[in-house]
Amino acid sequence: MSLLSVRDLSVEFATRDGAVRAVNAVSFELRPGQVLALLGESGSGKSVTLRSILGLHPPVRTRVGGEVLLKGRDVNRLDEQARQALRGGVVSMVFQEPMTALDPVYTIGRQIEETLVQHRGLDRAAARRRARELLDLVQVPSPERCLASYPHEISGGMRQRAMIAIALACEPELLLADEPTTALDVTVQAQILWLLRDLQRRLGLAVIFVTHDLGVAAEIADDAAVMYGGRIVEQAPVRELFRAPAHPYTEGLMLATVRRGQKGRALVPIPGAPPNLVALPPGCAFAPRCPHVKPPCLETLPPLHVVAPGHGSRCHLVPARFASSPALASSATGRGGLS
């Protein structure tokens, strides 16, 4: 059974300007231990997708459609107590800016212990021992000092390690990491990435990793899903995605990004701006910026074309551009996910 199954997920926010369609008919599956990178420009719906997995959207002015099945249980149909239990035991999140996720008035030790007492039912002494072990696990150099420190007393990298320790305190099977290194210096970014990758392997965690850095995705993910205008426009094993992208938006992202070993190559920004989520066009949302645009692109939403096993693209031009691919014989699987 999949650990996580997201089916036809849609999230809409009512605003003064109209309904913001932040996530539209998103489907994907995640096996235990699998690492999925969610890619895409800012505003493409990555964070909203992750928050949906935790059932974190405020109920007012938010409409959630479709299903998010965590170990077979629909997150959106559980009461708050059951959802809390899932957050405490199955899924945890690491945020971009640990300073906003940590409580400034309690020490790091107190915050880890509190999580352990609440979610794992440990007594104070056991929680204290376990907090120390968790800081060892996330390779904090002086754990005792870190336990006694307030968030503002330690560096950004240490705060992110403490945040990861809290996320791991409940022994989750799925870790959601929303651009966990973006707020850090480059060298610290690399350390945190290595730590996450090491923890993922040692603990057999499934991870969904949000990043706009394709190099990071290549380093740590098995598979990647590219989001645009609140939709997954392409999904593939990560190597396959980089070797043979099958959506013009993915190709654009690659040309616009610095990648290792490609020093000296000119970066080409994608012209134009991301779509207005209040007024999504009837066709492909990328069409207005697409160098290959054809009339159908402006009129109808592209179905999911299977380019190769596990590799799908929502682009009308796939059949013409990848005509030699054998998988295309069984193409256009409609609205569903790939797995």
Site residues for Mg ion per CB under 5 A: 47
Beginning with the edge strand found earlier in the chain, give each strand of the sheet holding 4-15 in spatial order: 18-30, 4-15, 62-70, 73-74
> In this complex, which beta carbon is closest to ligand ADP, that of residue 43 or of residue 109?
43
Residue 28 burial (CB count, 10 A): 22
Least distance from ligand ADP to the Cβ atom of residue 197, Å: 22
Report the candidate in 70, 63, 95 with the shortest Cα–Cα distance to residue 85.
70
* Closer residue to ligand ADP in complex, CB, 45/248: 45
- Nearer residue to ligand ADP within complex by CB, 246 or 277: 277
In contact, 322 and 307? CB cutoff 8 Å? yes
Provide, rounded to whole angstroms, the least separation between the CB of residue 194 and ligand ADP: 24
Q: Which residues pair with 12 in a beta bridge?
A: 21, 63
Toward Mg ion, which CB reaches closer, 39 or 158?
Answer: 39
Closest residue by beta carbon to Mg ion:
47
Helix (H, G, I), strand (E, B) or coil at 321: helix
CA 214 to chain centre: 13
Q: Which does 15 bind (CB under 5 to 8 A by kind): ligand ADP, Mg ion, none?
A: ligand ADP
Please state the φ and ψ torsions of residue 61, each to the nearest 5 degrees.
60, 15
User: Distance between CA 193 and CA 197 in Å, rounded?
Assistant: 6
Q: Shortest distance, CB of residue 9 to ligand ADP, whole angstroms?
A: 12
Nearer to Mg ion, 231 or 311 (CB): 231
CB 226, min distance to Mg ion, A = 14
Q: How far is the CB of 50 from Mg ion (least distance, A)?
A: 8
Positions in the binding site for ligand ADP (CB under 6 A): 13, 15, 20, 22, 40, 42-48, 277
